[in-house]
Amino acid sequence: MSKIRHSDSEPSIASSSGSRVTLYDSNTESTKSSSEYASITPFLLYVVSIMAIGAAQSGYHNVELNSLKNAFTHCVSDHDITIDGKKIPSCLSMTDNQFGFATSIFTLGGFLGSVCAAIIADKLGRIKGTLVNNMFIIFGSLCMCFATTHQLIWIGRFFIGLGCGIAIVIVPMYLAEVAPVRNRGLIGIMNQIGTVIGILLAQVLGFLLQGPHGWRVVLSLGCFLGIIQSVLLCFSVESPRFLVSSGGSFVSARSSLRRLRGGIDIEEEFSTYSITSNRANNSLLDNEEGDARSDISEETIDSSMEGTSISVIDLIRNPTYRKSLHVVVLCHLIQQFSGINAVFYFSTAIISKYYPTQAELFTLLIGILNVVVTFMAASVIDAVGRRPIFLSSMIGMGFSVIALGISILLEKNIFVIISMFFVVLTFGFGLGPIPFLITAELFDTKAVATASSFSISINWTSNFILSSIFLQLITLIGGYIFFIFAVNLLIATIIAYYIFPETKGLSIEEILNEQ
């Protein structure tokens, strides 16, 4: 079983004035930074809420087409309108394959966006990077809102996917970097809260706006959310960890941290920000130069590496990050291969077989449950810890997907609905939020963008594979597909028991000191 312990070493770094600042006392446990005593200030709540809009965009656009399928595949153009001599069709006729491509091209855009996100986040910063992803989302939403052909829907979905791929990397990274240690779980889970609220919003609007031209309103919302977030971000602050790691102004970094912490003494917390970057850099130099690095002073290393980020190859080769990389890859793989998107993507199709007139209502209730359980997880994650919640979530979901598979095979209508609810309940409590939270916790500022980009690219790829083959598999083997998901969850639970660390109450520096 993997555990994190406090280091007995005495790391110290050079302050901006050149003096040495001791961060740990060798005769006592590691000194607690001010971040561990800081609380959630009104300004911190503001910046976290505004950044979480990016997560809401990802959730919203992921499912926005689910309730609109009939508007495209059963098109009856008897409510067309004309504006300045130009015909605006009330619906756009698509075949099932064309509609399926409109759904899947979002995943392709998301994958490419997440691949590029590390470069954007490290070169431009977290705030400017978010403005970039909003540009893609706004453009894509306008393409779809004013579309007169299905090709414009495809183009819009691709650009929105690019934006959401960037957002899903940057948002959890920023949340972890600005959060006080004792509230990092609560702040970090705001990413998942934003996602599930976005999903629910898409389901509600899709349920209410199914009439002629209503789909244009649903597909245009991303534009308004992007504009609102972009304006409100002007009153936010850049991550102080990023400003230090990128070689930015120490004055700006201190100013950002001071505003986030509400005026408490921030110097001790601020002084810890460079430790893990320096330590990781030293490990990389060990790999590349062996004993030759003994001739290089610590100050030279700090200077030469400042402002750089770590490539995927360096991330994989660097022993400092190896254990962390194993954990996050496992988390993102099992999140998708647990079968959750079989419920989120195809719940309406599965339920309609048993309750054809109430399928969309049940899907809406599933969305509401997803939001409620995520708020429940947020309320306990810093008290209970990541490890027990993650393990219990996978165990509970394993039993739930088995029950769902049996219910489908025996055609027990009401039990299919109940099992779906339990799948969402057990997923939303741990397996939903923790992979994104733990990725941002296990890597320092120089590596977190690359690690997030790499792991979320795996997430998108797994998502695409599963969503592409699920309908064919359930047609071929029926409810037995859910037994495969149960086996996946069993294997992942066993592996996670031995490698998944507890990060509750520990700073990023303390977590990496154990790697």
For residue 148, the tally of other CB atoms under 10 A from its CB is 12
Per the model's pLDDT, the better-predicted residue between 136 and 343 turns out to be: 136
φ, ψ (nearest 5 deg) of residue 81: -125, 160
pLDDT given at position 120: 92
The predicted pLDDT at position 191 comes to 92
Scan for tokens 């349920």, then name that residue: 207
**Does the pLDDT of residue 296 top 50, yes or no?**
no
Does residue 393 sit in helix, strand or coil? helix
pLDDT at 467 over 80: no
Contact 270, 254 (CB under 8 A): yes
**The pLDDT value given to residue 75:** 64
- Separation CA 336–CA 219 (nearest Å): 25
Q: Could you give the domains of the chain?
A: 32-76+88-265+301-307 (1.20.1250.20), 310-515 (1.20.1250.20)
The 3-state DSSP class for residue 399 equals helix
**Run of H or E residues at 372:** helix 359-384
Cβ atoms of 272 and 509 within 8 Å: the answer is: yes
pLDDT of 103? 82
Residue 36: band (very low, low, confident or very high) from pLDDT cuts 50, 70, 90 = low
Residues paired with residue 13 on neighbouring β-strands, in sequence order: 21
Rounded to 10 degrees, the C-alpha dihedral 292/298/299/305 comes to 70
Q: Which of 17-31, 71-85, 407-421, 478-492 has the lowest mean pLDDT?
A: 17-31
Residue 95, pLDDT > 70, answer yes
382 band by pLDDT with thresholds 50, 70 and 90: confident
Q: Where is mean pLDDT largest: 18-32, 86-100, 123-137? A: 123-137
Among the listed ranges 32-46, 97-111, 227-241, 436-450, which one has the minimum average pLDDT value? 32-46
Helices and strands, number each (H, E), in the chain: 23, 4
Residue 473 has what pLDDT? 80
pLDDT > 80? residue 351: no
- What CA dihedral angle connects 514, 313, 132 and 248, to 10 degrees? 60
Crossing angle for the helix pair 190-208 and 150-178, to the nearest 10 degrees: 150
CB 63 within 8 A of CB 203: yes
Per-residue pLDDT at 67: 73
Task: State both tokens at 231.
Answer: 């304006």
Q: Please report the pLDDT score of residue 175 as a whole number.
A: 93
pLDDT at 285: 45
Q: What pLDDT sits at residue 16?
A: 39
Question: In the predicted model, is pLDDT for residue 451 greater than 50?
Answer: yes
Per residue in 191-244, pLDDT tens?
Answer: 999 999 999 999 888 878 776 667 888 999 999 999 999 999 999 999 888 888
Q: What is the mean pLDDT of the chain?
A: 79
pLDDT tops 70 at residue 35: no
- Which band of pLDDT confidence, cut at 50, 70 and 90, is reported for residue 147? confident
Task: Encode 120-182 in three state secondary structure.
Answer: HHHHHCHHHHHHHHHHHHHHHHHHHHCCCCHHHHHHHHHHHHHHHHHHHHHHHHHHHHHCCHH
Query: CA-CA distances (angstroms) from residue 30 to 165, 389, 483?
Result: 38, 27, 46
Angle, helices 190-208 vs 359-384, to 10°: value is: 170
Look at 69-78, 285-294, 377-386 and tell me which has the smallest mean pLDDT. 285-294
**Tokens 């990541």 correspond to what residue?**
386
Whether residue 501 contacts residue 327, with contact meaning beta carbons closer than 8 Å, is answered with: yes
Q: How many percent of the chain have pLDDT more than 70? A: 77
Band (302; pLDDT cuts 50, 70, 90): very low
